[in-house]
Amino acid sequence: MYVDSNKERVFIFDTTLRDGEQSPGATMTLEEKLQVAEALDEMGVDIIEAGFPIASNGDFEAVVAVAKQVKNATVAGLARAISADIDRAGEAVRHARKGRIHTFVSTSPIHLAHQMKKTEDEVIEIIARTVAQARNLIDDVEWSAMDATRTPMEFLKRCVETAIKAGATTINLPDTVGYAVPEEHFAMFKTIIESVPGAEKAIFSVHCHDDLGMAVANSLAGVAGGARQIECTINGLGERAGNAALEEVVMALRTRGDAMPYYTEIDSTQLSRASRIVSAASNFPVQYNKAIVGKNAFAHESGIHQDGMLKNAETYEIMTPASVGIKETTLVMGKHSGRAAYKDKLKELGYELGDNAFQEAFQRFKDLADRKKHVYDADIIALVDDEVGSVGDRIRLVDMEVVSKTGGVHRCDLTVTIDGEQTAVSFEGTGSVDAIFNAIKAASGQNPHLVLYAVDGVTGGTDAQASAHVRLEMNGRIASGNAAEPDTLVASARAYLNALNRVMIERGASAQGALAG
């Protein structure tokens, strides 16, 4: 890529697989994490935070697998300021071509008093000891001051100076609770970088949460204040209101290079593909009006806007759809399309499937084409994402018949397989969907709490696929499920089963208490 010599590079640190996966219901399987990591690596992400190795054996194995797979990016593992955490992170990332240990400790008065129960001097000693331990294991060490934006400046300076002296090569000052405003975020970085001895030896990093809707603005303000690394996630996935969205910070820097003289090495044409992959893996739908990658990001309905677009696209578009990898919906596939054409279409849409996954996806495409007059790109995307999200399901839908009568009975006759064993049940409900969900609970012997149920159309028309979204909570775990089908009731059943399968996955959470960012 062409780089203006007058611009400074900003490194992109993606934490979708760590902070993003902490979103309630966003748990990913190992296969899904590897798929996301591959997309991030191909897109040009500089650092991939692959997980929190001490949290569970599953997290450790996932970080090891990502570290072994990634070809270009640095792979980071998170560790609390605890000796065992740091050793475990070092063991996980040693498999990477370029590894990093990311360790953190709280610094704000409220965290020290209520969570850490430590004095400032005790925290300084912890920083010196644990950063030095990490640096003895690996050359690339990042240190984070959790809740930095609510930490007194003089103490924050002491902490940063201590971390740099102990060997930290990256200093992260996160807005952990989304509290900052851009002006003070800029001032914090500028003050620290200009006044802390040895600051020139480290790269400073921003990590912003979106509780007040300012994560991207704060991230860019931090860069203006001297930070040269942005920590972010695809689709803004993350705890509570989420993190700064990678696609937004990248396109903001690219589009407004006149106001922000910085650049990244991200291939922006892969942003839309990465968004779809993460949405499917996490089962978190992207809101229609989401900046950059939302369904409506390049849609124009206003008559005035449409008139301007016809005359010159730049009247209402400050970037092109192609610049982020978005293409117009087309009508090129149908029931007579063969395997080669379908494989070519998948490649065009950013998918490369293994033989078994391709055969299953092709069969579902042919089934859809038999039922639906026109098959759009959006239909194919929904089919493939649905298939990816269902890999490894223990409970699968075999057959379903729903009887519904106005003012009368609503009954679902359901057949499923559970670990290969077929089970049939019949159950009633206050409506068709209620009957379906009751039948699934009866068949599975599980009784999760329904947190969310929503349905929308993938494309227009009465034959459009319905995209159903379900979020369930059970035993303290939350999981989301999506499914796309021309039949709304079948889509609803498959989405519920997808969520139920995910919520039943046992995941260790022994160290999932206080995490950086």
Q: Which residues are known binding-site members?
A: 19, 207, 209, 243
How many other C-beta atoms lie within 10 A of the C-beta of residue 347?
A: 11
List beta partners, residue 402.
Answer: 412
Q: Report how far Cα 168 is from the mean position of its chain's Cα atoms.
A: 27
Specify the 3-state DSSP secondary structure of 243. strand
Alpha-carbon distance 238 to 224, whole Å?
24
Assess contact for 198 and 161: CB atoms under 8 A.
Answer: yes
- DSSP H helical ranges for 374-471: 377-389, 432-444
Q: Give the torsion sign (CA, 163, 164, 168, 170).
A: positive
Alpha-carbon distance 482 to 469, whole Å?
5
Q: Are strands 11-14 and 8-9 parallel, antiparallel or unpaired?
A: unpaired
Residue ranges at the known binding site for Mn(2+): 19, 207, 209, 243
Alpha-carbon distance 7 to 295, whole Å?
32
Assess contact for 36 and 20: CB atoms under 8 A.
Answer: no
Strands (E), 379-476: 395-404, 410-418, 421-428, 449-457, 466-474
- DSSP H helical ranges for 196-287: 215-224, 246-255, 271-282
Name the burial class of residue 446, with classes exposed (0-12), middle (13-18) and buried (19+) by CB atoms within 10 angstroms of its CB.
middle
